[in-house]
Chain A
């Protein structure tokens, strides 16, 4: 399982990459060494494989085919050295990944399937059962595959930020706090709810209300940090967050 880097109060990762996002490193052609570029792209692929899988399932591929094809796609993406084709204008990794996937799927019809799969060794730890649970409703809908992809992307982002936030509490030995307060990330809560949560934690209802407020702010920072890794410019983060809200609320 991929380790989530600690995120500071400014929404920056504290694993030494605070000065550059994963996607900006990939785009820094000629400025970042090949190994670091490959590592960044590998990290991004490991994070955002669920939308790829969801897209393939929405296209009508069965579970086994979707998993095989996803593995082949990532092998193709990570193996090729065509970063020169990337222009700085390609601001979002989400868009780049989808376009690459669409081209790959189109080209797949011209190739022997068995010859293009990534061998017998799986490159990425794709948990297809988990992915199936995540996209079950999407694959049964009549939404376009691209919309399925974006919705899966959005939920993946929210989930990563959620797990990062949860890990922060666990590191500070406050897993119980998170278990009690985390539900308020999805619901407003009222005075009675806060009081009930406070009794389990030994806090007043007012203190819980303040803690929930700070929890939501921190969660937002975690989401911002996750989104920032997939865009090139800090100014694109807000726009991407708005888009994620838009696709999830449709």
Chain B
């Protein structure tokens, strides 16, 4: 079979008998072309299976986006399960999409973190660009949340791990730019993994970049609490070497839930307010702080202190700066302490009465850094 050169005389199509004109469709039958091109036969929606792709045996399609498709595969040479991502349009991919595909793989490959899906290799096979990565057996956070509200602390732990992963990426000059539940997978051991770096910016980042807003939900069991705060990744702004991520909260948040999780409600509310402050200088400095705060119950257990502890990472002398408040939102007493990383050797450094929201307190803290 081949596309024929124009013959100069009309002939009949060998399949349907319709006239075939020279110089039109390179001699192909318009009737047959129209039938195949303009109808919607099932054959066009179900691509033929390609079982072997280079060193990989494609087992099943596990994800598909606007630009790429991901397969669960077995790497034949190492006899292990991996995930293989390919450009959706194969040979018809534009140069821009190929460049972004490589940028995604290189960005992810530059990161080594237990909460980031690792990249194995990148290549081209029979004209199709691909890269392979860890295969994670589990469920995305969005899928998990669809099954019902998550317990608040469980959600906070998930987000803590992701915040640490994002902080790691930021420290390596990589912005994810598409943080959302669908890009977070929870494996069978309850480990959180961040993937899909398709929106990453090449060559590091500079200036203000608007992230595509999406929702990461902290859902509380409605029988235990009456709130469901929603946080959006809103704006990522730069301030020197720090990357500040702004989260936008949900106005429906009920601050006076009156439940055992009230502290976490207040925490989330104020962290959100802190993160989204209009002035970049008043925002949370980096994702490490967000990670710490989301795990503040862990630290609370470590220190045995009550109230709210907001340890700051990367203290110059290796100590961690704490501040503790004893009152409810709106005002109270702030004590500033430092302690060693293991929670010992605590020393008070300041005492401050405050009567405003916690983001005002953040400015106090920043002065001490």
**Chain A contact residues, CB within 8 Å of chain B:** 8-9, 130, 133-134, 136-137, 154-155, 158-159, 162, 166, 168, 172, 174, 178-180, 182-189, 193, 196-197, 203, 206-207, 209-211, 213-214, 216-220, 223, 241-242, 244-245, 248-249
Contacts and interface: CB of A to CB of B under 8 A. Distances in A.
A159 B24 contact: yes
A213 B33 contact: no
A183 B37 CA distance: 12
Interface stretch (B88-96, B162-170, B218-226, B353-361): B88-96
Given A158-B30, A220-B37, 20 more contacts: A9-B89, A9-B97, A162-B25, A162-B26, A168-B92, A182-B28, A183-B3, A186-B28, A186-B33, A186-B36, A188-B36, A193-B1, A210-B47, A210-B48, A210-B50, A211-B91, A214-B89, A219-B37, A245-B38, A248-B30
B25 A158 contact: yes
Interface in B15-29: 15, 19, 21-26, 28-29
Contact of A245 (B2, B34, B92): B34
Given A182-B3, A213-B47, A249 B21 contact: no
B2 A154 contact: no
A185 B33 contact: yes
A136 B29 CA distance: 15
A80 B47 CA distance: 50
B21 A134 contact: yes
A210 to B, nearest CB: 5
Interface in B36-55: 36-39, 43-44, 47-48, 50-51
Contact of A185 (B22, B28, B97): B28
The interface residues of chain B, by DSSP majority, are classed as: loop
Nearest to A222: B37
A179 B43 CA distance: 22
Given A133-B24, A183-B1, A210 B29 contact: no
A188 B43 contact: yes
B31 interface: yes
A216 B43 CA distance: 10
Contacts of B8: 133
B126 interface: yes
Contacts of B172: none
Contacts of B63: none
B92 A9 contact: yes
B127 to A, nearest CB: 8
Contacts of B39: 245
A179 B94 CA distance: 21
B90 A214 contact: yes
Contacts of A244: 34, 38
A244 B94 CA distance: 29
A216 B1 contact: no
A209 B47 CA distance: 8
Contacts of A179: 2-3
Nearest to A9: B89
Nearest to B44: A216
Nearest to A207: B126
Contacts of B51: 206
A137 B22 CA distance: 12
A249 B93 CA distance: 32
Contacts of A211: 90-91
Contacts of B21: 133-134, 136-137, 155
A209 B43 CA distance: 11
A8 B94 contact: yes
A127 B48 CA distance: 41
Contacts of B38: 220, 223, 241-242, 244-245, 248
